Amino acid sequence: MPRLFGTDGIRGLANRELTAALATSVSSGAARVLGVTGAEHTPSGRPLAVVGRDTRASGEFLEAAVIAGLASAGVDVLRLGVIPTPGVAFLTAHTGASLGVMLSASHNPMPDNGIKFFAAGGHKLPDEVEDHIEAVLDQPWSPPVGDDIGRVRDMPEASALYAEHLLASEPTSLTGLKVVVDCAHGAASVVAPEVLRRAGAEVLAIHASPDGLNINFGCGSTHLEDLQAAVLEHEADVGIAHDGDADRCLAVDATGAVIDGDQIMAVLAIAMRDQQRLNHNTLVATVMSNLGLRQAMAEQGISVVDTAVGDRYVLEHMRANGFNLGGEQSGHLISSDYATTGDGVLTALALLAQMSRTGVSLAELAGVMTRLPQVLINVDGVDRTALAEADQVHQEVANVTADLGTGGRVLLRPSGTEPLIRVMVEAPTQAQAQTCAERIALAVRQHLSLA
């Protein structure tokens, strides 16, 4: 049986793969695993959970199912309503809850949905805890009855508390900045424009009218065209793009050029270094971050530590080693001084504050890093499990690496969920990156094909 949890919780087609029955069952299991501490600190003597969701229509019935699972396992529930994923993480810690639950499929299309769990303190779950939750789903247990069942109440002040937390993280006024923010018709449709306005910016919000069906549809951090056009049309200083649950932030400069997560990390790492706030003078990134980021940080005297792909692995490495800034090219950035997970609105505040403090345009700030052309080829129909023993493939990787020298790099990795092997090459030119990637992809097909 395949593992229920993926790299970011449980995700699938709502009401087909991710059903109400599954949501109830896994939430009950999570309550039994995570709800074992903290109950003594609540007035009821029962564990407490907070539950939030993004704007997907399926979030309505899945919210009900999750709450049913938690309450039936003897956990009191605070229903947060529509709120960004980092808001759930913050409120898990703020309320002293034993666990938090977010219903979202992040940047995925509307028909999908997902369940993300947070442990006490608002931290994502390590693999072994997720495995424990899966294990208890098949174990017999005695549900509570009478006054031991959980109670449910709304928390209407949830978004306001989260907004105050965000504003407290950055005292720099954004007065004088004109900002377009693309909310992806998602969970940040209210809170992102509100926070930026309260911080002093002039804000134009686009794609901020969710109807349950339009989340991420042609907008947000995976579709930047409308944001680019709006920045140019309104002569804004900067554009900010979030995804459906607002744990991502990408940007557009005044010329309409895209500023990705690697470039944002470079800007913030230098800002924190200059303020003597960058712990151990180190940035944590994933193996997919552009070589240009590493080159720029080396020039600035900042160390870069790599992790596996996935913001959870960035977070784990940051927590284990005391680092306080990390993230991914996709725009998941974690500032652990203020958050326990990626927070798109927090990232936007920090980026805009650096523009305001320095009086320098985003284009100039981001110019500290030059992105190398990057080509990614997904080779399907291959045996990803045999990659480690494929000597001919590794020899071709070595040949390409030698050809690139210090001016490029190769990353070859199997997909964690599909019969794919991913070939990524960075090189000084797009043509060279494409040619080198195709050479390795051909070797993978020749030696690892399932046909």
**Which residues are tagged catalytic?**
106
Which amino acid, residue 79?
R
- Per DSSP, the chain holds a count of helices (H) and strands (E) of 14, 19
Q: Are 280 and 337 in contact (CB under 8 A)?
A: no
**What's the per-residue H, E or C state across 175-207?**
CCCEEEEECCCCCCCCHHHHHHHHCCCEEEEEC
Q: Are 352 and 169 in contact (CB under 8 A)?
A: no
In terms of C-beta density within 10 A (0-12 exposed, 13-18 middle, 19 or more buried), how is residue 425 classed?
buried
Decide: helix, strand or coil at residue 390: coil
Decide: helix, strand or coil at residue 358: helix
What does 106-150 look like in DSSP terms, one character per residue?
TTS-TTEEEEEEEETTTEEPPHHHHHHHHHHTTS------GGGS-
Which amino acid, residue 371?
R
Tell how far CA 384 is from the center of its chain: 26
Beta strand 258-259 pairing with 48-53: unpaired
Q: Is 17 left (phi over 0), alpha (psi -120 to 50) or beta?
A: alpha
